[in-house]
Amino acid sequence: MPSGPLDPRHAVVVGAGPGLGAAVARRFAREGFALTLVARTPQTLDPLAAELRAGGVAVTTVIADAADPVGFRAALLEVADRVTPAVVVYNVGLVAADDLLEASAEYLLDALAVDVVGAVTTAQVLTPGMRAAGAGTFLVTGGGPGLVPDPAHASLTLGKSALRAAVTVLHEQLAPAHVHVGSVTVVGVIAPGTSLDPDRIAEHYWRLHSEPEGAWTVDVVVDGS
pTM, to two decimals: 0.96
Q: Is residue 169 situated within a structural domain? A: yes
Domain of 216: which CATH number? 3.40.50.720
pLDDT tens profile 137-166: 999 999 999 999 999 999 999 999 999 999
How many whole angstroms separate alpha carbon 181 and alpha carbon 72? 21
Q: Count structural domains, the chain.
A: 1
- Examine the pLDDT at 211 and tell me if it is beyond 70: yes
Q: Is residue 1 situated within a structural domain? A: no
Confidence of residue 1 (pLDDT cuts 50, 70, 90): low
- Which domain, by its residues, includes 131? 7-223
Q: Is residue 28 situated within a structural domain? A: yes
| Distance between start and end Cα atoms, the chain | 44
Residue spans of beta strands (DSSP E) within the chain: 7-14, 34-39, 59-63, 85-90, 137-143, 180-187, 219-223
Q: Is residue 110 situated within a structural domain? A: yes
Residues 6+ apart with CB under 8 A from 165: none
Relative orientation angle of helices 198-210 and 20-30, to the nearest 10 degrees: 50
Q: Is residue 2 situated within a structural domain? A: no
pLDDT tens profile 46-105: 999 999 999 999 999 999 999 999 999 999 999 999 999 999 999 999 999 999 999 999
